[in-house]
Every structure is written in structure tokens, then in C-alpha cells.
Amino acid sequence: MKRLSTLLIYLLLILGSLVMFFPFVWMFLTSLKPFAEIFELRVLPQAPTLDNYREVLFKTQFPRWFLNSLIVALITTASVLFFDALVGYTLAKLRFPGKGFIFVLILSTLMVPTEMLIIPWYVMSTEYGWSNTYWGLLFPGLISAFGVFLMRQFFQTLPTDLLDAGRIDGLSEFGVFWRIAFPLVRPALAALGIFTFLGNWNAFLWPLIVVQTADMRTVPVGVALFSSEAGTAWNLIMAASSLAVLPVLLVFLFFQRQIIEGVVLTGVKG
Amino acid sequence: MRPSEPARRGVSLAHREALWALAFLIVPLAFFLFIRIWPAFQALWLSLFDWHADPSQRPFVGLEHYQQMLGDRLLLKALQNTLAYTLLGVPLQLLLGLCIALLLNAVTRFREVFRAIYFAPYVTPAAAVAWVFSWMLSPNFGIVNEILGVFGIPPQPFLTSPSQALVTVTMVVVWQNLGFQVVLFLAGLQNIPRDYYEAARIDGASNWQLFRHITLPLLNPVMVFSAVIGTIGFLQLFTQVVNLNFTDQGGPLGSTLTLALYIYQQAFARFDLGYAAAITVLLFVIILAITLVQLRLLSRRVEY
């Protein structure tokens, strides 16, 4: 009885896993088929080819989009990690007038949906000449209010004695933050960093608006606009999708434990 | 900086700390003021004007855009759809997430492997994944209809049918969000101390009673969190809707149109930025109201 129910549970889990993973498999298999084969609905490609990838990589600006996404996601992540930690630390560990007010002020920005800010951002970008630039792509995400909240929670658990020891050793306040406090919250930083990177790498709405020329597109926008022009060449569309999805999946497979533990960490703390 | 320095300078310790805090906060505060807070008010302000590229040529129209919303049938459609997405998607992903987490919690072998597979879609770019689904769901050549055919089910129109498109989009979004729910619920389940179950079992409680009186109440905080996050996500649904039906965004016949997509179309296809800004104010009010109500309704604290 017990063994039977365990078997049933595994069966259900495997069935669910198939539903979850099959789209990736089908995407990849289609991307290996020549155009003539895609409407035949045989599972495996009869004459597997890399031509679709060649076409997407060399006839579009995909490599450039990849670079753009990398630049935007890396700079944003570095900025978020530094500034969110700094602000979270200041709000958790330093005493100064107006602290409560500043915390509430930052938190209150979480209530405003991005859609509401996007129109003023667009107006700003056209007025200041930020549209179609890297700065235009990344300025909205440079600091995250959620991250400030998260980092403050973590810094609050650090014993103040540890920081005082640094002060007695002659570190400046910035030294205390950078040399002592910052390295101690590494798990939280890792979680926040992964989320920020993924969020920016996958972002669609703002890049779609702020970018005007093909060479400034990020991967999701580039792939979407390429696909919309490819008609029924699903072999090419799936090759483009694979180029967007597989690197993320690969990174995820390598770091899946850390990434999932990061979700738990932010979900439970936040 | 030496510890004696502040005293020598005649600056008190408290003063010194406040100065450091100011130095640390000045750049981030400027960011929040100019990039987050000021634009929110600017959206409110812009909603009172008719748009023109030259700021001096924007005629003040007062609350006209808000009146315009009352008679806008497409906006009403977008609102209804957004509500339908949320009412369908949030309970579905909550329920499925909970079920899968319960199954995972019941097994010991391969748990991490399964967890990773269920979570994988969550990390992938929604725009690209939506194209994969629009290929799989193609009425004539899609693999999904092919699989249904094996079970004797006739081909479905899915995204091309006004009556099926919204449900289909919801399924795709749930597929992508599910892993997040599973991971949260699994962590929540593993945080419940074993003793509670053992004690209840000694008292003769049934499996259902254990679930009903221990598991569910203790999972409440996780459920509130995931319901709030899920609701906010569905209320802002955009990327999947756009990419699943790129040539007829929001179609067929407006059946998948969402508020976020309607805002985008008004602002960046019709360049009616003033009206679009007014709708974003509406979206803000809706999200705020629903979040507050949910937090109040769902967050009854349970302690044993």
C-alpha cells in the first residue's frame, strides 16, 4: 500500500516534469530541422542541421544583442548590489535623524507599478537624449527598493560589536561597511544578485520602448522582433528562441541549488 | 580616520554618524526621488494634459481623460480580461504549486532533480518562451494538437479562438510561474516542525485533519506572499500576451487584451501619452486596493 502510493507519487511527478520540460525539448528539436521538415511533425530531425543557428547568428545582430544584454544586466547587478547593501546597512546600523521616514519613503516606491513610471521615463529619455543608449536601458534599474528592504533585514541580524571592533581598529565608517559588514551578508548578496541579473536579462517592456535601432536591442526584444518578421519559418524562430533560452538554462543547471536557495531566502525574508 | 579625530574636530559622535549616513544615502536618495517618486507624480500630472512633443503646446484638459475612460469599451474589455486572468491564474498556480510541493515533500529520492525541473521555466526569458508556445499551440501544425489527436481529441484553435485564447495565455503564464510557487511552498512545508504531526497523530488525528489543521494554517504566510506576488504579476501581464500573438496583439477580437498592453498601445502606438498616463493611474489604484485587501483578508497570524 505504502509502496503503491509512493509509486503513484513518482508517476505524477514525472508526468508533471514532462509538461514542464517538453517545451524546451521541442524548441531545440525544431531548431535543428530544415524548413522542409518542420511541418512533418516527426519528433526527431531526419537531417539535423545547424543552418538555422548560422542564419540567426550571422544574418541578424544576435551577437550584438547578447553583448547588450550582458552589459545591461552586469552593470545593473553590480550597481544594485553595491547601493542596496549600502542603503540597507545605513538604515540598519547607523543612527541619524529621519531614518524611519527615509525607510518608508523608499518602501513606498514599491507600490508604484512600472507601467506608471514608464511614460515619464520615456518623456525623460527623449528630452535628455537617453533613448537608444545603454544609459537609457539601464537607468531605471540601478537601485532596487526591494533589495534595500532585503539587505536591511540581513544587516539587522549582524552583531553591532563586530562593527565596533572595526571602528576601534581605525576603520572609517565606509571601511566598516565595505570590509566587515558587506562580506558577512554574502548569501543575501548572491540571492539578490541572481534575481537582479535574471530580471534584467529577461526584461522586455522597457527595452522595447527605449530602443529604436536594431543594434541596441537586448536578447528578448531582438528575438521577439526577429520572430515577428520570420513568418512561418518556425525553424529559424526556434533557433533564435534556443539562443535566448539555452544559455539561461545552462547557467541555471550549474547553479540550480544556489539559485533555488536564493528564492527561498528572499521569499521567506521578504 | 582615527577615533580621536572627531573629538579634535569638535564634532560629536552622533553628528559624525549622521554625516556618514548622509554621505551613504545621498546618491540612492537622489535616485529614488528622480527615477521613482518624481515620475510617479509626473504620470499623475501628464494625465491632466493632451500629449504634444513640445511641453509648451500641451493643452490642459483636467479630468477629461478620466471621463474618457468611462466610455472606453476597449478599456472595459482590458479591465475584464485582466480580472479574468488574475481570478483564473492566481488560484490555479497556488493550487498546482501546493499540490506539487506536497508530492515533492512526500518523496526523498530525486527531490532536488524534480525541484530543478519544475523551477527551470521560471528563469527563462518569457518573450522567447512565448514564441515556443505559439509554435507548439499552432492549430494546424502544433505538436499539442498532435498529442491531443493521439487521445482522440479533435484539434483545438487555442490562441486563434476568442473563447480559448485567454485561458491558453493563462496556462502559459502559470507554466512559467509554477516553479516559483513550488519552491516557496516546499520551503514552507519543510519549515513545519515534525513534532506537530507526531503529537497530533498520537491524539488520533487523520491525514486530512493533519493537513487541514496543521499544514494549511502554518503555510498561511507563504500563501499570502505567493497570492500577493501572483496577483501583482497577473495585473501587469504584458510580455506573454504580446509575444503569443504578435501580429494581432491582444487579439483575437481583443480577447487577450490586458491593461498593461492597452496602456502600451495608447502610449506608444497612438502616442496618446496623456490618456495612457491616466490609465496607469487607474492601474496603480487597482493594484494598491487589491494588495491592501489581500493582506488584510489573508494574513491572519497563526501560532501554536
- Residues in chain A with CB shorter than 8 Å from the CB of B2 are 170
Residue B140, number of CB atoms within 10 A of its CB: 9
Report CB contact under 8 Å: B40, A117: yes
Collect all residues with Cβ–Cβ distance below 8 Å to B163 and sequence separation of at least 6.
Answer: B255
- Residues in chain B with CB shorter than 8 Å from the CB of A220 are 125-128, 239
* Nearest-angstrom CA–CA distance, B166 and B159: 8
pLDDT in tens, B120-170: 999 999 999 999 999 999 998 899 999 999 999 999 999 999 999 999 999
Task: Enter the C-alpha cell of residue A248.
Answer: 539561461
Cβ burial, residue A189 (10 Å; 0-12/13-18/19+) = buried
Please state, rounded to an integer, the average pLDDT across all residues of chain B: 90
Domains in chain B, start-ordered, CATH in brackets? 5-46 (no CATH), 71-298 (1.10.3720.10)
Nearest to B244 by CA among B176, B152, B149: B176
Model pLDDT, residue A268: 61
Our CA dihedral for B19, B21, B26, B32, rounded to 10 degrees, sits at -150
Report CB contact under 8 Å: B126, A249: no
> Alpha carbon of A21 to those of A63, A121, B68, B249: distances in Å?
26, 37, 46, 27
* Nearest-angstrom CA–CA distance, B141 and A38: 8
Which of these ranges, A61-70, B1-10, B221-230, B279-288, has the smallest mean pLDDT? B1-10
Report CB contact under 8 Å: A41, B1: no
Q: What distance lies between CA B39 and its chain's CA centroid?
A: 22
Report CB contact under 8 Å: B246, A228: yes
With contact defined as beta carbons under 8 Å apart, do B258 and B244 qualify? Answer: no
Q: What is the pTM of this model?
A: 0.91
CB nearest B36 (choices: A95, A109, A228)? A109
Nearest C-alpha in B relative to A112: B284
- Judge whether residue A48 has pLDDT over 80: yes
Model pLDDT, residue B157: 93
pLDDT in tens, A89-102: 999 999 999 999 99
- Residues in chain B with CB shorter than 8 Å from the CB of A113 are 232, 235-236, 280, 283-284, 287
CB nearest A234 (choices: B135, B175, B238)? B135
Model pLDDT, residue B140: 87
Report CB contact under 8 Å: B1, A109: no
Q: What percent of chain B has pLDDT over 70?
A: 94
Model pLDDT, residue B282: 95
Q: Is the peptide bond before B55 cis (omega within 30 degrees of 0)?
A: no
pLDDT in tens, B186-225: 999 988 888 888 888 888 888 888 888 888 888 888 888 8
Report CB contact under 8 Å: B284, A113: yes
Report CB contact under 8 Å: B31, A143: yes
- What pLDDT band is residue A231 in, cutting at 50, 70 and 90? confident
Which of these ranges, A117-121, A189-193, A222-226, B276-280, has the smallest mean pLDDT? A189-193
pLDDT in tens, A24-41: 999 999 999 999 888 887
Domains in chain A, start-ordered, CATH in brackets? 55-269 (1.10.3720.10)
Mean pLDDT of B269-290: 93
The length of chain B in residues reads 304
CB nearest A267 (choices: B129, B146, B184)? B184
Model pLDDT, residue B1: 45
Model pLDDT, residue B205: 85
Model pLDDT, residue B10: 52
- How many A-B residue pairs are in contact by the CB < 8 A criterion? 267
- Judge whether residue B302 has pLDDT over 60: no
CB nearest A260 (choices: B115, B127, B132)? B115
* Nearest-angstrom CA–CA distance, B99 and B106: 11
Nearest to A137 by CA among A203, A227, A66: A203
Task: Enter the C-alpha cell of residue A99.
Answer: 531614518
Please state, rounded to an integer, the average pLDDT across all residues of chain A: 92
- Judge whether residue B9 has pLDDT over 80: no
